[in-house]
Amino acid sequence: MKAVLLRNGLLIDGTGKDAQAGMDVLIEGHQITSIGTHLSLPVHYDPADVDVIELDGKTIMPGMTEAHTHFTWQNSLYIQDIDFKPLEETMLGCYLNAQTMIKSGFTSCVSAAARGRVDIALRDAINQGLIVGPRMLANGAEISATGSFVDLHPNHVHVSGLSIFADGEDAVRRTVRSLLKEGADLVKLNVSGESLTPHARSEMTLYTLKEVRAAVEEAHARGKRVYTHARSSDSVKICVEAGVDIIGHADFIDDEAFEMLVEHKNRLFVVPALNWLVSTLEHGAQYFGQEAIDATGYKEGLEIALSNMNRLYKAGVRILPGGDYGFKWCPHGGYARDLEHFVKLVGMTPMDAIVSATKYGGQVMLMEDKIGTIEAGKLADILVVDGNPLDNISILQDHDKLHVVMKDGAYIVNKLPIRQVQGA
């Protein structure tokens, strides 16, 4: 078994505890086995099997989790492009996106929908060690009502793309059952609209409580979870009442929806996907025209979302990074921008933003006992960052500063010299 000794780092362990300078972390095989100052080298090892890496004060932190991932969205301009790209090319793009993600420091991700069985095939290939990528919770097509914001083609055009349209409880049940049969870890429902699609705006609620509850019953009966797109206040209330596990957006919540989220904070997660709004406001006009972007109401919507995320954060609701990356104006690779938004726009401390990406990430992956923090006995999903993200959270976006990305004890990225034990 190989061992790796990371020496003299600034440890941000992901629990929220203060950073500690001068720390060593010992990794044996897949696991973190020891953490402390001036750790001695494991004597029972053949020296050739121990890598010693001097960090000279660089930051050691857990690998992060991206909680709103769409590998099958491939930096296209229009949502319709996702439907029209052939699945075979989409699959290849997903393979590359998975590599981009892990090299960006995100060693785990929760898919918030994908085309066909692409996620499932990708997850299985990663788990079998055939290809490099993050730990994945795989999703299937978005389950949507007819006329929802992803129902983008004229009625006479039938496209088998990013959505499966299901209206009424029976159709929703049937769709959830078939997606889970295929091997999805969770299903995604579009409960509210999205204002980039004028006929189904964010303030509209497009599924009923009965339909959402039907999906939750079917998923939970199989030990699986439900992820929703829910911007309107009513859609969030429906999701909480129906028992949805992961709520995407939750930006237009009124006081009642806020109280409901707080009441259920121990069982659910909120993933606001703020970068979608921020990036669309930054770059959308150049592609769609200023008038179209003004008509979305995203500018006012972002303000509302930020103040609601601030009060959810203060109330202890777990808010996770995950930003709907995969469009031309918010491409794959920028995932850590969400942490900057949490600090600069929502008002989180940098430490809490890191906890949301690490400890809460382990929780949303249902792997809290194995990943998300740097503690003895956990799997070695570890980053070494050149700089201190507590001083400048933006450095996590700089891939050049990610000097080591390790998943399960294996190097995905290593830019630092390795010495063998004799020289230690």
Interface region with Zn ion, contact rule CB under 5 A, candidates 80-88, 92-100, 104-112, 354-362: 104-112
Q: Parallel, antiparallel, or unpaired for β 225-230 and 50-54? A: unpaired
Interface region with Zn ion, contact rule CB under 5 A, candidates 175-183, 323-331, 355-363, 378-386: 323-331
| Interacting residues with Zn ion between 66 and 95 (CB under 5 A) | none
Number of Cβ within 10 Å of residue 414's Cβ equals: 16
Contact residue for Zn ion among 61, 112, 166, 277 (CB under 5 A): 112
Interface region with Zn ion, contact rule CB under 5 A, candidates 33-41, 56-64, 108-116, 171-179: 108-116
Measured CA to CA, the distance from residue 281 to residue 319 in angstroms comes to: 22
In angstroms, give the least distance from the CB of 412 to Zn ion: 25
Interface region with Zn ion, contact rule CB under 5 A, candidates 107-115, 254-262, 281-289, 397-405: 107-115
Number of Cβ within 10 Å of residue 170's Cβ equals: 11
Give, in degrees to the nearest 5, the angle at Cα 133 between 132 and 137: 140
Interface region with Zn ion, contact rule CB under 5 A, candidates 36-44, 324-332, 339-347, 394-402: 324-332
Query: Is 139:188 a contact under the CB 8 Å cutoff?
Result: yes
In angstroms, give the least distance from the CB of 245 to Zn ion: 16
The reply to whether 142 sits near Zn ion by the rule CB under 5 A is no
DSSP secondary structure string, 62-99? EPEEEEEE-TT--SBSSHHHHHHS-HHHHHHHHHHHHH
Q: Put residue 384 in one of left, alpha, beta given phi > 0 → left and psi -120 to 50 → alpha.
A: beta
Burial of 391 (0-12, 13-18, 19+ CB in 10 A): exposed
In angstroms, give the least distance from the CB of 32 to Zn ion: 33
Which is nearest to 103 in space by CA: 68, 77, 64? 64
Applying CB under 5 A, the site for Zn ion has a residue count of 2
In angstroms, give the least distance from the CB of 70 to Zn ion: 6
Output phi, psi for 362, to 5 deg.
-60, -40
Closer residue to Zn ion (CB): 139 or 373? 139
Closer residue to Zn ion (CB): 283 or 419? 283
Contact residue for Zn ion among 83, 324, 340, 352 (CB under 5 A): 324
In angstroms, give the least distance from the CB of 216 to Zn ion: 19
Q: Which residue is nearest to Zn ion (CB)?
A: 324
Structure tokens that stand for 412 in this block: 């995905």
Closer residue to Zn ion (CB): 185 or 324? 324
Output phi, psi for 313, to 5 deg.
-60, -45
Which is nearest to 227 in space by CA: 250, 258, 206? 250
Closer residue to Zn ion (CB): 149 or 360? 149
In angstroms, give the least distance from the CB of 95 to Zn ion: 20
In angstroms, give the least distance from the CB of 275 to Zn ion: 11
Residues in touch with Zn ion (CB under 5 A): 112, 324
